[in-house]
């Protein structure tokens, strides 16, 4: 990790005889001295953000631009990064411009704020005033019925994933994890950056193989072990598991219809393709009229919420039994989050879909998930109804 900071100093021709001490001082400033010799890819999301901050501070800038600096970090890690950015600005006598969808980021970090709407300044003033204007349409008072949860569809037993790191030895990214998920359940996996959430979700999806343990998924009447390779085991089950990555990507030069069919390898006759696409867009939360309207649009012509729903439809059109959502709200604004929430709930109701949600967004988790598992150090340390686990973990409303 220190090499990343040294390269930044080299870019500004910092004297080589002083570079090591300067790099160590910068790493100290972002409180990462205990990770100085770690490889960058082995750092958590929050630690990587701090390395990026150290690299920028190495340039001794007069002004720092921070674009969504903590959008995908858990609340506690985000608070640490906020404090570091503020302290860095004071220590280095540096101006700072922060852009974010999250009111909390602006409240924590800004002295003044401005609201942009369609590329124009709609308001400029105190953070509190601007945030009030921004969130005035943030109303989600509608209630949804809790569906009847079905039989068990996933069963994990003592799942473990170990890595060998040159400087850290054996790392247990996932350590003896056991849990079950039922049909039509929305099951959340929460925890700090580096807790092991993403590794666990990739094991469920069959992307990586655990070191030991079982990950059984019900396909038809058969339990299939995802830890066993072969066309009758993991190969059979992977086709029934959908994964929506945090950084999903639609094909920008293909229409919504193309994005839902031939662009992802699904070849239907024209009439069936349109019919299937419209049905799936409806499952993802579009009205019948809106689904027909967007079918021949390109992704760039859609809003953020609409693009996310198309990406969800892209997963759903493959007819998965389980959908894994990795940070589905990402850096979305509060209004778009409402769209995404209703898309997930609508797909669960209309398709009997089961969701596994990996997220740092505790407010979204509280609104959407039936149960959650709190992951810490690769282990599930608490699991149960969402409200109870969040309260015990300190994520109170």
What's the average model confidence in pLDDT over 315-329? Answer: 87
Between residues 21 and 140, the one the model is more confident about: 21
* pLDDT-based confidence at residue 245 (cuts at 50, 70, 90): confident
User: Residue 381: what pLDDT?
Assistant: 93
Using DSSP's 3-state secondary structure scheme, residue 137 falls into: coil
| pLDDT tens for each residue of 221-238 | 889 988 888 888 888 888
Residues 63 and 178 in one domain: no
Residue 142 pLDDT greater than 60, yes or no: no
Residues 164 and 58 in one domain: no
Residue 251 pLDDT greater than 80, yes or no: yes
User: Residue 123: what pLDDT?
Assistant: 92
> How, if at all, do strands 354-358 and 322-326 pair?
parallel
| pLDDT tens for each residue of 61-81 | 899 898 878 766 667 777 887
Residue 154 pLDDT greater than 90, yes or no: yes
Residue 220 pLDDT greater than 80, yes or no: yes
What beta strand segments (E) does the chain contain? 63-67, 95-99, 113-117, 120-125, 152-165, 169-182, 186-190, 212-219, 222-225, 241-244, 322-326, 354-358, 371-376, 379-385
Residue 179 lies in a domain: yes
Instruction: Tell me the HSE value of 11 on the side-chain side, using a 13 A CA sphere.
Output: 13
* pLDDT-based confidence at residue 104 (cuts at 50, 70, 90): confident
User: Residue 370: what pLDDT?
Assistant: 94
Residue 35 lies in a domain: yes
Percent of the chain with pLDDT over 90: 26
Using DSSP's 3-state secondary structure scheme, residue 320 falls into: coil
Q: What is the mean pLDDT of the chain?
A: 85
User: Residue 145: what pLDDT?
Assistant: 63
| pLDDT tens for each residue of 197-217 | 888 998 998 888 899 999 999
Boundaries of domain holding 281: 152-392
The pTM of the full predicted model, rounded to 2 decimals, is: 0.70
Residues 182 and 267 in one domain: yes
SS (H, E, C) 247-265: CCCCCCCCCHHHHHCHHHC
Residues 90 and 166 in one domain: no
Using DSSP's 3-state secondary structure scheme, residue 307 falls into: helix
Distance CA 89, CA 67 (A): 15
Residue 385 lies in a domain: yes
Residues 74 and 209 in one domain: no
Residues 185 and 252 in one domain: yes
Residue 373 lies in a domain: yes
Q: Among 99, 114, 137, where does a domain finish?
A: 99
User: Contact, 204 vs 226, CB < 8 A?
Assistant: yes
| pLDDT tens for each residue of 267-281 | 778 888 889 899 888
Distance CA 22, CA 28 (A): 10
Residue 346 lies in a domain: yes
User: Residue 144: what pLDDT?
Assistant: 56
Residues 83 and 191 in one domain: no
Give how many domains the chain has, as a whole number.
2
Residues 259 and 366 in one domain: yes
Residue 321 lies in a domain: yes
Distance CA 185, CA 353 (A): 8
Residue 378 lies in a domain: yes
Residues 74 and 178 in one domain: no
Residue 242 pLDDT greater than 70, yes or no: yes
Residues 18 and 163 in one domain: no
Neighbours of 256 (CB within 10 A): 28
Q: Enumerate residues 6+ apart whose C-beta is below 8 A from 94.
A: 61, 62, 63, 64, 88
Q: Among 38, 69, 99, where does a domain finish?
A: 99
Using DSSP's 3-state secondary structure scheme, residue 13 falls into: coil
Residues 55 and 196 in one domain: no
Residue 124 lies in a domain: no
Residue 397 pLDDT greater than 80, yes or no: no
Residues 252 and 317 in one domain: yes
Q: In this structure, what CATH number is given to the domain that contains residue 378?
A: 3.40.50.300
* pLDDT-based confidence at residue 322 (cuts at 50, 70, 90): very high
Q: Among 71, 99, 127, where does a domain finish?
A: 99
């Amino acid at each position: 990790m220190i090499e990343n900071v040294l390269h930044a100093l080299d870019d500004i021709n910092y004297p080589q005889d002083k570079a090591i001490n300067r790099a160590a001082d910068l790493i100290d400033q972002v409180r990462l001295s205990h990770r100085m010799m770690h490889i960058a890819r082995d750092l958590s999301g929050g630690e990587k953000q701090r390395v990026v901050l150290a690299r920028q501070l190495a340039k001794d800038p007069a002004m720092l631009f921070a674009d969504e600096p903590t959008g995908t970090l858990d609340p506690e890690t985000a608070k640490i990064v906020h404090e570091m950015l503020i302290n860095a600005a004071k220590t280095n006598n540096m101006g700072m411009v922060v852009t974010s969808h999250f009111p909390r980021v602006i409240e924590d970090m800004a002295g003044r704020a401005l609201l942009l709407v369609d590329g124009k300044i709609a308001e400029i003033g105190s953070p509190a005033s601007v945030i009030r204007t921004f969130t005035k349409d943030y109303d989600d008072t509608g209630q949804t019925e809790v569906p009847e949860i079905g039989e068990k569809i996933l069963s994990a037993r003592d799942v473990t994933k170990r890595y060998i790191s040159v400087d850290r030895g054996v790392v247990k990214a996932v350590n003896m994890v056991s849990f079950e998920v039922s049909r039509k359940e929305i099951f959340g996996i929460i925890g700090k950056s580096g807790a092991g959430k993403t590794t666990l979700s990739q094991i469920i999806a069959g992307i990586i193989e655990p070191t030991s343990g079982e990950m059984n998924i019900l396909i038809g009447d058969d339990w299939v072990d995802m830890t066993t390779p072969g066309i009758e085991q993991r190969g059979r089950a992977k086709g029934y598991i959908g994964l929506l990555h945090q950084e999903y990507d639609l094909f920008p030069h293909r229409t919504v219809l193309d994005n839902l069919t031939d662009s992802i390898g699904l070849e239907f006759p024209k009439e069936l393709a349109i019919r299937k696409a419209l049905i799936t867009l409806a499952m993802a939360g579009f009205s019948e009229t809106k689904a027909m309207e967007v079918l021949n649009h390109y992704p760039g012509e859609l809003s953020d919420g609409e693009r996310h729903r198309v990406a969800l439809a892209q997963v759903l059109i493959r007819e998965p039994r389980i959908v894994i959502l990795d940070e589905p709200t990402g850096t979305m604004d509060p209004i778009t989050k409402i769209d995404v929430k209703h898309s997930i709930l609508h797909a669960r109701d209309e398709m009997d879909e089961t969701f596994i949600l990996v997220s740092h967004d505790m407010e979204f988790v509280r609104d959407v998930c039936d149960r959650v598992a709190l992951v810490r150090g690769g282990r599930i340390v608490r699991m149960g109804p969402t409200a109870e686990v969040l309260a015990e973990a300190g994520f109170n409303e």
